[in-house]
């Protein structure tokens, strides 16, 4: 197995200290805070109608927001309730949303990619899950024989017997599981108690059923974590040999996510401790054979993401890294974000208003954006940098019919300063991110973000 030099990573403490400042995660460009209310359902109809001419494959995202328990750290869009029966009207509304969308979409376009995210998708009772799967099958043309990338986020604490088999039989072939931390004191402090045995049992069952990729989520920087406790968590998790591992930096923004107020500041590890935890985790992961894909993600060398990165075909969208570029992303459920042709559109974030809008026969779009040619160019650059850690100027100039240097004259001083500091190499032919610059890729992308100066948005820190 050959790894390209881009998959090497060097942790440079000084550089990280100097450049560690809040920044977007670039699951889209322009980022969601710049979507506007002038983009409405009618604008989405137009984008959907227009997209059929391309014949592009489809990617479907379903936001399933319910969770039975509240994890205090959580920054996801969710609805916490013990009422599992709330899933029934929710999936009925999803069926309505698909029907309203299908009016504008050619049903022969194949679904390359399908993702259930949350919240907790497996909060749904098995009958509701079965209804949802039937409904997707009724409205869309799914690929046979595991040809698609069909993934679901699983919370092992909320998984009815038989649900995994139902999902596998439908064609789901990858799962991602939230673990966060295995230490008992940390789990108590964040109000998420989930045993190692439970997580291991779900992975075991998934592998026996033939799911081909298992991904686990960890968070560093949670209350009461220490480098030693997190090292124990990592060691236990690595024994499960997940194909992918996300190691997220805890985003503590209590003004935006009020339940985080239940985490006392004094319990959160200091920036120095966090840096140590992260540095040691990277060393452990590299020793265990994992490659850094980028933006919190690690993968085994033969995982599809790692292979796609080596081949230059890696892509990134709202669900994170993917091997499927060139699709139109249709998104269903409260708060879900679609990407159709040169547009983004986000659904209404309030559960009742989302449902009532569908009941009145309208697509529940709250806001969105039509990208300009300049936005599309900058989106391309940011995507390639995040996926390849390299930008080839000749290819870019050809594709967009421009001359990189004069066009990005305003970005050059920031890029040259980063080159001087060792984050990247800049010459006449290319911008290449160094192994030390890779952890600061967000910062490099920010040099191409034309919106940052427009309004102040609170972002989490890079590390």
Ligand X SMILES: C[S@@+](CC[C@H](N)C(=O)[O-])C[C@H]1O[C@@H](n2cnc3c(N)ncnc32)[C@H](O)[C@@H]1O
Q: Which residues bind ligand X (CB under 6 A)?
A: 73-76, 117-120, 153, 155, 178, 180, 217, 219, 248, 250-251
Distance, CA of 11 to CA of 279 (rounded, Å): 6
Region from 70-78, 132-140, 222-230, 349-357 binding ligand SF4, contact rule CB under 6 A: 70-78
Instruction: Compare residues 237 and 369 and give the one whose CB is closer to ligand SF4.
Output: 237
Structure tokens at 293: 């894909």
Instruction: Compare residues 30 and 178 and give the one whose CB is closer to ligand X.
Output: 178
Distance, CA of 70 to CA of 60 (rounded, Å): 27
Q: Which of 9, 74, 186, 291 binds ligand SF4 (CB under 6 A)?
A: 74
CB of 153 to ligand X, least distance (A): 5
Residue 236: count of CB within 10 angstroms of its CB: 15
Region from 17-25, 69-77, 237-245, 334-342 binding ligand SF4, contact rule CB under 6 A: 69-77
Contacts (CB under 6 A) with ligand SF4, residues 105-124: 118-120
Q: Which residues pair with 307 in a beta bridge?
A: none
CB of 123 to ligand SF4, least distance (A): 8
Q: Which of 12, 95, 149, 155 binds ligand SF4 (CB under 6 A)?
A: 155
Q: What, of ligand SF4, ligand X, none, does residue 250 touch, CB below 5 to 8 Å by kind?
A: ligand X
Instruction: Compare residues 296 and 388 and give the one whose CB is closer to ligand X.
Output: 296
Distance, CA of 119 to CA of 154 (rounded, Å): 10
Query: Quick one: DSSP state of residue 36?
Result: B
CB of 72 to ligand X, least distance (A): 9
Instruction: Compare residues 244 and 379 and give the one whose CB is closer to ligand SF4.
Output: 244
Q: Are 3 and 291 in contact (CB under 8 A)?
A: yes
Instruction: Compare residues 76 and 307 and give the one whose CB is closer to ligand SF4.
Output: 76
Per the listing, tokens 């974030």 go with 349
Instruction: Compare residues 120 and 233 and give the one whose CB is closer to ligand SF4.
Output: 120
The strand ranges marked E within 260-302 are 291-294, 297-299
CA 119 to chain CA mean position, Å:
13
Q: What, of ligand SF4, ligand X, none, does residue 251 touch, CB below 5 to 8 Å by kind?
A: ligand X
CB of 142 to ligand X, least distance (A): 23
Instruction: Compare residues 69 and 276 and give the one whose CB is closer to ligand SF4.
Output: 69
Structure tokens at 262: 């239940």
Q: Are 281 and 251 in contact (CB under 8 A)?
A: no
Q: Quickly list DSSP for 303-315.
A: SHHHHHHHHT--E
Q: What, of ligand X, ligand SF4, none, does residue 70 touch, CB below 5 to 8 Å by kind?
A: ligand SF4
CB of 347 to ligand SF4, least distance (A): 17
Q: What, of ligand X, ligand SF4, none, does residue 452 touch, CB below 5 to 8 Å by kind?
A: none
Instruction: Compare residues 159 and 369 and give the one whose CB is closer to ligand SF4.
Output: 159
Q: Are 51 and 37 in contact (CB under 8 A)?
A: no
Reduced 3-state DSSP string for 123-174: HCCHHHHHHHHHHHHHHCEECCCCCCEEEEEECCCCCCCCHHHHHHHHCCCE
Q: Which of 70, 238, 240, 415 binds ligand SF4 (CB under 6 A)?
A: 70
Q: How far is CA 30 from CA 46, 146, 370, 383, in A?
A: 20, 33, 10, 11
Q: Quickly list DSSP for 220-261.
A: ES-TT--HHHHHHHHHHHHHT--SEEEEEEP---TTTSGGGG
Q: What, of ligand X, ligand SF4, none, does residue 217 touch, CB below 5 to 8 Å by kind?
A: ligand X
Residue 394: count of CB within 10 angstroms of its CB: 11
Instruction: Compare residues 153 and 328 and give the one whose CB is closer to ligand X.
Output: 153
CB of 119 to ligand SF4, least distance (A): 5
How many residues make contact with ligand SF4 (CB under 6 A)? 11
CB of 114 to ligand X, least distance (A): 16
In the chain, the largest separation of any two C-alpha atoms, in whole Å, equals 61
CB of 410 to ligand X, least distance (A): 32
Q: Residues 255-285, buried b or exposed e (16+ Cβ, 10 A)?
A: eeeebbeebeeeebbeeebbbbbbbbbbeeb
Q: Which residues pair with 454 in a beta bridge?
A: none
CB of 420 to ligand X, least distance (A): 32
Q: Which residues pair with 316 in a beta bridge?
A: 321
Distance, CA of 418 to CA of 227 (rounded, Å): 30
178 binds ligand SF4 (CB under 6 A): yes
Instruction: Compare residues 71 and 306 and give the one whose CB is closer to ligand SF4.
Output: 71
CB of 124 to ligand X, least distance (A): 13
221 binds ligand SF4 (CB under 6 A): no
Instruction: Compare residues 78 and 93 and give the one whose CB is closer to ligand SF4.
Output: 78
- Give the binding site for ligand SF4 (CB under 6 A): 67, 70-71, 74, 76, 78, 118-120, 155, 178
């Amino acid at each position: 197995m050959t790894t390209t030099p881009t998959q090497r990573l060097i942790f440079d403490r000084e550089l990280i200290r100097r450049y560690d400042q809040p920044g977007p995660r670039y699951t889209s460009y322009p980022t969601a805070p710049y979507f506007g209310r002038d983009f409405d359902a009618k604008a989405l109809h137009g984008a959907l109608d227009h997209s059929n001419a391309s014949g592009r494959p489809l990617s479907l995202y379903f936001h399933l927001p319910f969770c039975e328990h509240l994890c205090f750290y959580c920054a996801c869009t969710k609805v916490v309730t013990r009422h599992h029966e709330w899933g029934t009207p929710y999936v009925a509304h999803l069926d309505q949303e698909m029907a309203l969308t299908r009016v504008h979409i050619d049903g022969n376009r194949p679904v390359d990619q399908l993702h259930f995210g949350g919240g907790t998708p497996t909060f749904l009772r098995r009958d509701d899950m079965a209804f949802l799967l039937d409904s997707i099958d009724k409205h869309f043309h799914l690929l046979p024989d595991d040809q698609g990338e069909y993934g679901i986020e699983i919370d092992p604490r909320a998984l009815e017997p038989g649900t995994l088999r139902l999902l596998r039989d439908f064609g789901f072939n990858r799962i991602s599981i939230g673990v966060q931390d295995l230490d008992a004191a940390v789990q108590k402090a964040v109000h998420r108690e989930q045993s190692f045995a439970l997580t291991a049992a779900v992975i075991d069952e998934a592998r026996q059923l033939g799911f081909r990729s298992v991904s686990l989520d960890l968070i560093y920087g949670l209350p009461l974590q220490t480098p030693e406790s997190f090292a124990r968590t990592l060691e236990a998790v690595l024994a499960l040999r997940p194909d992918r591992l996300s190691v997220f930096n805890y985003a503590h923004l209590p003004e935006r996510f009020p339940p985080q107020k239940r985490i006392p500041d004094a319990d959160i590890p200091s920036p120095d401790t966090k840096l140590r935890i992260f540095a040691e985790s990277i060393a452990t992961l590299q020793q265990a054979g994992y490659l850094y894909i980028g933006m919190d993600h690690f993968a085994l060398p033969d995982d599809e993401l790692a292979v796609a990165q080596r081949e230059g075909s890696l892509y990134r969208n709202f669900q994170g890294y993917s091997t499927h570029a060139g699709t139109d992303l249709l998104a269903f459920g409260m708060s879900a974000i679609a990407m159709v042709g040169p547009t983004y559109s986000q659904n209404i974030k309030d559960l009742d208003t989302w449902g009532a809008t569908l009941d009145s026969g309208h697509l529940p779009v709250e806001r969105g954006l039509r990208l300009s040619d300049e936005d599309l160019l900058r989106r391309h650059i940011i995507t390639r940098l995040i996926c390849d850690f390299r930008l080839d100027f000749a290819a870019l100039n050809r594709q967009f019919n421009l001359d990189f240097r004069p066009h990005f004259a305003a970005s050059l001083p920031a890029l040259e300063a980063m080159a001087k500091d060792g984050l990247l190499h800049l010459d006449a032919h290319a911008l290449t991110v160094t192994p030390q610059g890779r952890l600061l890729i967000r910062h490099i992308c920010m040099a191409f973000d034309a919106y940052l100066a427009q309004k102040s948005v609170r972002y989490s820190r890079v590390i």
